[in-house]
Amino acid sequence: MIITISGKAGSGKSTVAKELAKQLKLKHYSVGDLMRQMAKERNVSLLELGKAAEKDSSIDKELDERQIRLGKEENNFVIDGRLTAHFIPNADVKVFLECEDRVRAGRILKDERKDEKGKDINEVISNIKERELSERKRYKQYYGIDYYDEEMYNLVIDTTKLKVKEVVGRIIGNISKKK
């Protein structure tokens, strides 16, 4: 079984994917971790890496190839990332996580991800909106898709008022219905 978890920054993609993988005893992969690693290797922020990717398509292509290869060569994993549903079309379940901006920003402020932080909630909201605009622009330009398009997914969940276990429960419930 392959499960993709897509969604907005701070919506809970990685947290939900890790917990889901743990409960289902599957491997977990995260495109966000890979992006953060690439930014660190280049000694730039995540936002700066995104801006660089607007001019240098090799950054996105490297991430894309890794996802495509995973989808073809492996089975039984959960992966979180913006375009996982697009690059792993054979996934059994494709989930999109939605969440209100202030809640997303609050989660990022509390999180360990210093690369996405700001001084306050308004700065974080501004940073994630700028980053998402950059990403959506690139993805539309490169692939002709908008990863916010809910038609790409089997399941859309608003995580604004939900705990991680509730989100995971809904995904597992959706999987059970499919069997």
Strand 77-80 to 155-158 pairing: unpaired
77 DSSP β-pair partners: 2, 27
Give the chain's domain count.
1
Question: What residue has token string 């909201």?
Answer: 125
User: In percent, how much of the chain has pLDDT > 90?
Assistant: 63
Say if 134 falls within a structural domain: yes
Say if 174 falls within a structural domain: no
Helix (H) / strand (E) containing 112:
none
81 vs 36, more confident: 81
Say if 169 falls within a structural domain: no
Identify the domain containing residue 55 by its residue range.
2-161
Say if 170 falls within a structural domain: no
Span 18-34, pLDDT tens digits: 999 999 999 999 988 88
Q: What is the CATH number of the domain that holds 11?
A: 3.40.50.300
Q: Could you tell me the pTM of the whole model? A: 0.85
Say if 168 falls within a structural domain: no
**pLDDT > 60? residue 117:** no
Say if 112 falls within a structural domain: yes
For residues 21 and 154, what is the distance between their CA atoms, to the nearest angstrom?
18
